[in-house]
Homo-oligomer: A and B are copies of this chain.
């Protein structure tokens, strides 16, 4: 049973009322600006506790973990390697295939993470302009 302290509630509220993928620093900075300053260690611990309780979810990128609302349900991500923008998708066929693959290999799947890397639409347009100019 997670204890929802004022600090954890502040983290949870901020994540729940936004639609971003936050890292710990961003969260701490934003809370600080809102007059709810909390120690960076508390942020890390709070995030871990909240995720454990299923109140938020995360994705592990190459350098850092990013957290988001859990009330969207499961989905996977497209990450723009140029601007860092993150888009979301969920493909039930992919999800099913994963189950099948795991089963075939006698592997008891508990989770997965699919990241698609590339260039987002807006960054693609930027590149074209560069060439034209």
Chain A residues in the interface with B (C-beta under 8 A): 60, 62, 78, 80-81, 87, 89, 91, 93-94, 97-98, 100-102, 104-121, 124
Smallest CB-CB separation from A93: which chain B residue? B97
Count of identical protomers in the assembly: 2
Question: What's the minimum C-beta distance from A118 to chain B, rounded to whole angstroms?
Answer: 4
**Contact for A110 among B62, B109, B117, CB less than 8 A:** B117
Beyond A60-B62, A94-B94, 14 additional pairs, beta carbon < 8 A: A78-B102, A78-B107, A87-B105, A102-B118, A107-B116, A107-B118, A107-B119, A108-B119, A109-B116, A109-B118, A110-B119, A111-B117, A113-B115, A114-B114
- Chain B residues with Cβ under 8 A from A114's Cβ? 98, 112-115
- Chain B residues with Cβ under 8 A from A111's Cβ? 116-118
